[in-house]
Amino acid sequence: MKKALVTGISGQDGSYLADLLLAKGYEVHGIIRRSSSFNTSRLEHHIQNPEVYNKKFFLHYGDLTDYTTIEKLIYKCNPDEIYNLGAQSHVRVSFDAPVYTGETVGIGTLNMLEAFKLYQQNSGKKVRFYQASSSEMYGKVLEIPQKETTPFYPRSPYACAKAYAHYLAVNYRESYGLHISCGILFNHESPRRGETFVTRKITRAVGKIYQGLQRKLYLGNLDSKRDWGFAGDYVEAMWLMLQQEQPDDYVIATGVTTSVRDFCKKAFDYCKMDYEEYVEIDEKYYRPAEVDILIGDYTKAKTQLGWEPKVNINELINMMAEHDFDLARRDYTLHVYDNKLNPRS
């Protein structure tokens, strides 16, 4: 039985990756931060399964900025594969919290790589490492579409920290002969996406507006264009990278770009509503430096990994809208029930 250690396991990508690895027979260890609440809702289907939890699936407290704990956990878990997904990953928030973003994304990756290097040198075990890089590193794009050789031009503290982490991973690979692969993942979404990210913010609003629980949806730049794929598809690409004999870097994308405006239109179409009646612009959601367009060329991943996306943008939007419509319907039922119990004067 292979063992995998996953940082950021309680996030969107980490939860889908846990599903994939457990289905493939892995023993999965995840690192979560200790906080006042047990933020593991995306993992509850494993935690509530007595045949899995603490038998094949284990959670450990740790923080990417705490090198000592990270080093101890790697030795304790004795992994065959390490997936470094943990980060402060919200681009807009990175402008408000640049130091924290730099520490978790940049220094956190350095801590993981250094602990990984020493563990492999001391144990003699051949371990493989996946680094989550980001299309945001391309920023003010110098080439369309973007591929592995396209120069980076980061436009946010998050993107700068990701570029630093990416080059660290490449440096450790080339300097120490380590099996480290970087996935340059373009935007990927799902019903498990955090509700502060624009795609989920949109689909949540659609359901709430339809149920009368929300009146307006406030967004920033509607003309930004992104290459959106399904997170469940993208974690398969992560796993495939670590099954290769030689480590490398891969763009993971769909090759299709969609504007925020078109995403809104398609999402509101799910409930047969006109997005223009409900969407308003709020300048506070604009970034200080915008990324206008991202579109990836995944030819290398298709050729060398045999990977390509299965879910297209229309299927993705419908998947998210359907999930959030059902969620809003439950919210509405609870709202009505609460009003009956606690009538407002």
Backbone φ, ψ for residue 245 (5° rounding): -65, -35
* Sign of the Cα pseudo-torsion (183, 241, 53, 316, in order): positive
What residue has token string 């009956």?
A: 340
Catalytic position from the list 10, 15, 133, 134: 134
Cis peptide before 145 (omega within 30 of 0): yes
158 catalytic per annotation: yes
136 catalytic per annotation: yes
Report strand pairing: 258-259 vs 225-226: antiparallel
Q: Where are the beta strands (DSSP E) in 175-325?
A: 179-185, 188-189, 217-219, 225-226, 229-230, 249-252, 258-259, 279-281
What residue has token string 């996406």?
A: 193
Buried b (16+ CB within 10 A) or exposed e, 167-192: ebbbebbeeeebbbbbbbbbbbbbbb
Catalytic position from the list 16, 83, 158, 234: 158
Helix (H) or strand (E) holding 22: helix 12-23
Q: Write the CA distances from 333 to 61, 134, 202, 214, 309, integer angstroms.
A: 36, 39, 21, 14, 36
DSSP letters, 244-281, are SSS--EEEE--S--EEHHHHHHHHHHTTT--GGGTEEE
Catalytic position from the list 136, 189, 234, 278: 136
The two most distant CA atoms of the chain are separated, in Å, by 70
DSSP letters, 115-178, are HHHHHHHHH----EEEEEEEGGGG-S-SSSSB-TTSPP---SHHHHHHHHHHHHHHHHHHHH--
302 contacts: CB under 8 Å, gap ≥ 6: 308
> Rounded CA gap, 8 and 12, in Å?
9
Task: List the catalytic residues.
Answer: 134, 136, 158
